[in-house]
Amino acid sequence: MKKFGSSFHGYNKNEVNSFVRDVTVEYEKMLNQLKERDQEIENLKQKIIQYQNMETTLNRALLVASDASNQIKKVARDESKSILDDAKRNASRIVNEALLRSTKLEQEAEDLKRRIIVFKRKFRSAMEQEIENIDDISEDY
């Protein structure tokens, strides 16, 4: 605490005025520091609000991206199921057509075998007939 010297009418005015000036200067410095700190606090509060807004926006973006990802996965699963179903139907159709062709070819092969057997019999009969004719010719001479 500051002690003032005494004078004829009380304390020394120069000392008191000097002290008041010093206190005023110090008070203004402290007041300016407080204002600067208040401004810094306000800036930091604004940044916190800004970061909170960014966080909220990012969370929303993540949710949207997650929903989009889930939707894409669902569409891909549905499409793959559709492709597999189409492939199974086509495979069944191809197998059925192959079986029908196979059956038809087997029938044609059996028909050819029968025709060959019939041809062989007819040919053999015709040959035997011709041999008999040749035999008949040679007996006549």
Query: What residue type is 91 in one-letter code?
Result: A
* pLDDT score, position 133: 87
Where do the domains of the chain lie?
A: 6-140
Q: What is the CA radius of gyration of the chain?
A: 58
- Local confidence band at 123 (pLDDT 50, 70, 90 cut-offs): very high
pLDDT, tens digit, 9 for 90 and up, residues 8-67 = 667 777 888 888 898 999 999 999 999 999 999 999 999 999 999 999 999 999 999 999
Give the span between the Cα atoms of 113 and 111, in whole angstroms. Answer: 5
- Residue 9 per-residue DSSP state: T
Q: In angstroms, how far is CA 131 from the centroid of its own chain? A: 85
Residue position matching structure tokens 């966080």:
55
